[in-house]
Structure 1
Amino acid sequence: MPNTLPAWFWIAYYLFLAITIGVSIYNLSNRKSIRLSLLVIWIAITVPIVGLLNSIGRFDELNEFQHLVSELQQGSLWAVYACSGYLFLAVWWITLFLKVRTQQKKSVAR
């Protein structure tokens, strides 16, 4: 039987992606950062698909994360795309939180 990550990880992972897509759709509906929101939606949808398709043939003793790291060390293009996509989403969330925090501080100061 193939080695896989625990169920709690997958729940958190897909919840993160769903919330990311939801916030991006909300931003689109409010006409905020339209191009960036579309890019975030694209990345949040394509990165898991690319990862899943490329993890199908992995060795049974490696879980998905170990397989990703192994492929990244070998310079695999899909692994570079996946890691870049995850990094992009993390930076997007950090900047979003900082932006909201700055707006809240400005509204409290008034």
Structure 2
Amino acid sequence: MWETLLPWFTVLYFLFFLITIVMAIWSIRRKRLEDLAYPALAMTFITPIATLFYLIGRPEGSNELEYFLQNVVKGDVMAIFVLALYGYLIFWWVVMTMKWKSSKAVNINKEAN
């Protein structure tokens, strides 16, 4: 029997990608950080597919996250590539959040004056 991650983890995983798609499209339409949003949008489609193809070869007895982390530590090139894809998406979220908070602070200051 193959081990797998809990259903709630899978729901959160795909919810992360769905929200990223929506926010990237919103960012592109609002012309905010477009140079970062286009790659983020592309990576929301590439990352799950690359992860799926990478995890197809995992051995029986380990779940997806264990197998992935073990191979990142071993220095597997594909695991590091997939990690870099996730890293970019997290980087994009951090930059978007910082940009959103800074623009919100500017709007509050304008309203106060």
1:76 matched to 2:76? The reply is: yes
Q: Quote the residue 2:55 is aligned against.
A: 55
Q: Which residue in the other structure is 1:34 paired with?
A: 34
**Aligned-pair distance for 1:70?**
1.6
Give how far 1:90 is off.
1.1
Residue of structure 1 equivalent to 2:20: 20
Displacement of 1:28 after TM fit? 2.0
Task: Report the AA paired with residue 3 of structure 2.
Answer: N
Cα distance in 1 for partners of 2:33, 2:106 equals 20
State the distance in 1 between where 2:50 and 2:2 align: 19
RMSD, aligned α-carbons: 1.3
- Show structure 2 runs of 5+ residues with no match: none
Which structure has the greater CA radius of gyration?
2
TM-aligned CA deviation for residue 95 of structure 1:
1.3
How far off its partner does 1:34 sit?
A: 2.9
Structure 2 CA distance for partners of 1:108 and 1:32, relative to 1, 3 Å: closer
The SS at the match of 2:3 is: coil
Once the two structures are TM-superposed, the CA of residue 103 in structure 1 deviates from its matched residue by 0.9
- Secondary structure of 2:37's partner? helix
TM-score, normalisation: structure 1:
0.91
Could you list the runs of 5+ residues in structure 1 that have no partner in the other structure? none
Amino acid at match of 1:45: F
Aligned length: 110
1:81 maps to amino acid: F
Displacement, 1:74?
Answer: 2.4
Contact map agreement 2:54 2:78 (CA 8 A) in 1 = yes
TM-score w.r.t. the length of structure 2 is 0.89
TM-superposition CA deviations, 1:31-62 (whole Å, max 9, x none): 33333211001211111111111111211111
Residue 38 of structure 1 aligns to a residue whose secondary structure is: helix
